[in-house]
Amino acid sequence: MEQLLNAAGARRFWTHLLLWLVGGAAIGWSAVYFAGASAGVFDAASINPGDTAWMLASAALVMLMTPAVGFFYGGMVSSKNVVSVIKQSMIILALVSVQWVVIGYSLAFGPDTGSGFIGNLANFGLRGVGFAPDPNYAGTIPALVFMIFQAMFAIITPALIIGAFVERIKFKTLVIFTLLWATLVYDPVAHWVWSPDGWLRAMGALDFAGGTVVHMTAGFSALAAALLVGKRLDTHHPGATANNVPFVILGAALLWFGWFGFNAGSALAAGALAASAFVVTNTAAAAAALTWVALSWAENKKPSALAAAIGAVCGLVAITPASGYVGPIAALAIGVLGGVVTYAAVYIRSKAIKIDDTLDVWAAHGIGGLTGAILTGVFAEKAINAAGNNGLLFGNPQQLVVQIIAVAAVGLYSFVATWIILKVLAAIKFPLRVSPAEEAEGLDMATHGESAYRV
């Protein structure tokens, strides 16, 4: 029997090795093929070195935000689930990086299928995406730089969703869900809003850095996921079981830092618009952090450190869609209003509807993104960004109507599509959650065999 097992083990080893070799050969052939397709003569003078350097730095800043989410979320869960949360954010970074190169970028930013709904596969494997700028998006930086900057947005968005079902999600199911969700939810919505052919962009919807594309898709998908995955066996309010408040503060600080690349980088050039977006991003985050602390202090009689960290993130979410269209005073208003609305959403979710969205992704990102997108239709002004539009306060009530249509479409689509994806996964025997015994043990040991803290 031992010999048989050894033989079977040897067969598995050689089978896996053969598959890796075949896969590697296929990837190598593809690299040669697509390298020829993406190479070509271009005018080097069309590349602005300053813009290119700023955009590469911005891409790196946004990349940092995904592990920052891991620390931000990881500090709020129980001590037996810290590794699992940080691991989930890191595996999503790897998964979506590959998906984006192979098909994601083409579906989001490639030529339209004619529907205004999604791009085709003309840029499959980054075919045709090279050193020359793509004037549809950024005329002074290589198309590859724009691609990798946008990749970081695609990566962090599903990482935000994990806060809805931490401490109970099945890891294998999460991997498959992430790939399907990135392809079927994120890529189409990014196309709607940011592609020149997208139907929401054609309507005039404004979303400078992802209030709808990133935060609303994540938030309303998280709501669907929380409903289908179900409540934890041991349900607490976020913070009640927080194992490491310094982790939460560290994560929030790194998110705040990375968000300058997120918002100011969305100017796609190192210029006045980037400077304006940088200033309003910091202003709104600060205003929302103070708002959350004040509300928490009034409710709980103590000024909470968690409230300051979470409030700052909510302010960053709210300013994101407006960051390239509003000035500092409007940013203060968006920060305060975004803080009040998200705090209220957390309260309503926990007290009234009692859905176990573990870390309040729907309230912080879904409602925060919705609030910011609608307020963009109020405060936007062409004096800040001539490529944008005036909002309600500057004589254009129609922009507010367009913003409401955009948030309704994105929220509904994200919720329904996520619901269908998870239902299908469950139907084809990909269980959504771990067993009760594994949940009680904690995912750190039950799933990964690793512990965050030495006992």
DSSP-derived letter for residue 435 is -
Q: Answer whether residue 203 shows pLDDT above 80.
A: yes
* CATH superfamily, with its number, for domain 38-448: Ammonium transporter AmtB like domains (1.10.3430.10)
pLDDT, one tens digit per residue, over 306-347 is: 999 999 999 999 999 999 999 999 999 999 999 999 999 999
Give the pLDDT score at 320: 98
- pLDDT of residue 13 exceeding 60: no
pLDDT at residue number 106: 97
DSSP state of 325: T
Cα–Cα distance, 72 to 207 (Å, whole number): 25
pLDDT given at position 33: 47
- For 25-42, b where at least 16 C-beta lie within 10 A, e where not — what string? eeeeeeeeebeeebeeee
Q: Residues 164-188: pLDDT tens digits?
A: 999 999 999 999 999 999 999 999 9
Euclidean distance between CA atoms 355 and 348, whole angstroms: 10
- Helix 49-74 vs helix 143-161: angle between axes, to the nearest 10 degrees? 10
User: Mean pLDDT of all residues in the chain?
Assistant: 91
Q: What is the pLDDT of residues 107-146, one digit of tens each?
A: 999 999 888 999 999 999 999 999 999 999 999 999 999 9
| Length, in residues, of the chain | 455
| pLDDT the model gives residue 114 | 86
Q: The tokens of 235 are what?
A: 């349900």
Nearest to 147 by CA among 32, 271, 254, 34: 34
- Rounded Cα–Cα distance for residues 156 and 398 (Å): 32
pTM listed for this prediction = 0.91
Nearest 5°: the CA angle 228, 447, 96 is 65
Q: Which of 22-26, 259-263, 405-409 has the lowest mean pLDDT?
A: 22-26
Burial degree of 428 (CB within 10 A; 0-12, 13-18, 19+): exposed
Collapsed DSSP state (helix, strand, coil) of residue 119: strand
C-alpha of 436 from chain center:
29
Question: pLDDT for 379-416, tens place per residue?
Answer: 999 999 999 999 999 999 999 999 999 999 999 999 99
Query: pLDDT band at residue 32, thresholds of 50, 70 and 90?
Result: very low
